Amino acid sequence: MVKALRTAGWRSGRRIDLETWTRQLAAAGFKFNDVATAVWAEFGELAIESSPNRVPSSSLRLDPVDACIDTSAEAQRLRRRFGENYSPLGMWSIQYRSYVAASGRVIAVGPGVLWELGTSFAEALIYVVDGDGGADRAERAAWL
């Protein structure tokens, strides 16, 4: 996993400026949690690709504005459904919006389906890069 992170441009101690993102997301109606802002600061703007052994391939592009700027209503539905604040994270596998909860849980949302990528950001990274042996993480999203 560290190799995938380094290939994407991550390094220990990496930090990016969040002012533009936080201003834009707040204006769009998002409320952020501390886990999200910590993840954005360290991993924001990275496009993390799966290992060559992962089938199917996977990726996580960490840009909450690009992926989710127009989805605050979706984040509010997630909050009502799961009882905690979900902040935008980015895009999983090019097409699914991803969110991170105040608890650290990372989910991705697609048409009629919700995937749990991990119960923490670290677990989600492992799933994106290496997979998990085919465990079914999809939940039919009646909440949509």
Element spanning 108, H or E: strand 106-110
The per-residue pLDDT for 53 is 87
> Which of the following CATH numbers is that of domain 2-140: 3.30.160, 3.40.1580, 2.60.40, 3.10.450?
3.40.1580
The per-residue pLDDT for 132 is 72
Asked whether the beta carbons of 101 and 85 are under 8 A apart, the reply is yes
The per-residue pLDDT for 140 is 41
**In degrees to the nearest 10, what's the CA dihedral of 78, 79, 82, 84?**
140
The per-residue pLDDT for 9 is 92
The per-residue pLDDT for 138 is 47
Asked whether the beta carbons of 101 and 33 are under 8 A apart, the reply is yes
The per-residue pLDDT for 141 is 39
The per-residue pLDDT for 77 is 92
| Cα distance between the two ends of the chain | 33
CA distance 87 to 100: 5
Q: Which residue has the tokens 């533009």?
A: 20
CA distance 46 to 40: 10
The per-residue pLDDT for 19 is 95
Low-confidence ranges of the chain (pLDDT < 50): 133-144
The per-residue pLDDT for 39 is 96
DSSP helix/strand/coil, 78: helix
Neighbours of 1 (CB within 10 A): 14
The per-residue pLDDT for 2 is 85
Asked whether the beta carbons of 141 and 112 are under 8 A apart, the reply is yes
Strands 96-101 and 86-92: antiparallel
